[in-house]
Amino acid sequence: MENFTPVSALIGGGLIGLASGLYLLLNGRIAGISGILGGLLTPTKGGSAVFERLAFVIGLVVGPFILMNATEIAAQSVVTSSLPVIIVAGLLVGLGTTIGSGCTSGHGICGLSRFSLRSLVATLSFMAAGFVTVLVTRHLMGGM
Amino acid sequence: MRTIVSLICGTIFGFGLYISGMIDPQKVLGFLDIWAIADGGWDPSLAFVMGGGLAVAIPIFQFAKNRTEAVCGGEMSLPNNRAITTKLIAGGLLFGTGWGLVGYCPGPALSALAFGHTDTIIFVVAMIVGMGGARAVGLNK
């Protein structure tokens, strides 16, 4: 377990929980990233929600950008998959989170924090599929 | 005001994804590889991210969900759908498969755009196409 980073994981997780909690408390909304992004694709009348969603997405990119440029905290984001796999994976994530009404943040953090059984089922579903997919790609097919 | 709150919450969320290491698909895949537990290759970090996130979010959510109005005004927009459906599970399974293939879920994929890698941009474009396509045929309903 040489890659295990429990302290930074707890601190980072706490910040994710804080952001989700504040978003609900202050704006009355669920910080589900797939829902926020998807809502930008089919904006409803009213308009102000579009700016709120857009601001959240911009913040998601600005946060890491600040840390990588203004602090000593190092991180990376390494994709090892081939181009066709990246495209298929992206399509599946987009399709699946839309059909299943949420992702790791909306169901996993916000839903579980509301003690939603529906979100627990969703979280167990995508976790199980993730475990099985990695079993197939890493251990049965020898890496993709 | 609500837009500024959104920007700040998004930024804090992005800080969390970066600091926790979840912005790196290899950290996520290291967690999803529970099959490596026996040989010591498993990385349980993601479970600690969830644990840290829930430890902070649960008290705030339990306090906030009884409010009738958001602090910055407007309704509390909480989901009222409690149905456990085939659609919910099918969506979760499709999402989990894509997640397990590359290691990106929507939040980290967007945050990782800060690195400017072509692979990340391609993933995000494909993800948006998937979301848009599904919404176009009403699968978000």
Domain count of chain A?
Answer: 1
Q: Is residue A57 part of a domain?
A: no
Contacts of A87 (CB under 8 A, 6+ apart): B122, B123, B126
For residues B13 and B110, the answer to whether their CB atoms sit within 8 Å is no
Lowest mean pLDDT among A67-76, B72-81, B124-133: B72-81
Q: Is residue A38 part of a domain?
A: no
Q: Is residue A28 part of a domain?
A: no
DSSP state of A71: S
Q: Is residue A90 part of a domain?
A: yes
Task: State the sign of the Cα–Cα–Cα–Cα dihedral A7, A13, A15, A18.
Answer: negative
pLDDT at A144 over 60: no
Interface check B61 vs A, CB under 8 A: yes
**pLDDT value, residue A44:** 74
Q: Do B16 and A16 touch (CB under 8 A)?
A: yes
pLDDT band, very low/low/confident/very high, at A1 (cuts 50, 70, 90): low
What is the three-class DSSP state of B79? coil
Q: Is residue A21 part of a domain?
A: no
Q: Is residue A121 part of a domain?
A: yes
pLDDT at A143 over 90: no
Q: Which domain holds residue A128?
A: 79-144
Confirm whether pTM is higher than 0.90: yes
pLDDT at A11 over 70: yes
One-letter amino acid of B63: F
Tell me the pLDDT tens digit for each residue of A112-137: 999 999 999 999 999 999 999 999 99
Kindly list the residues from chain B whose CB atom is less than 8 angstroms away from the CB atom of residue A74. none
Q: Is residue A120 part of a domain?
A: yes
pLDDT at B59 over 90: yes
Q: Is residue A142 part of a domain?
A: yes
A-interface mutation test, from B65, B81, B94, B125, most A Cβ less than 10 A away:
B94
Give the residue on A whose Cα is nearest the Cα of B84. Answer: A118
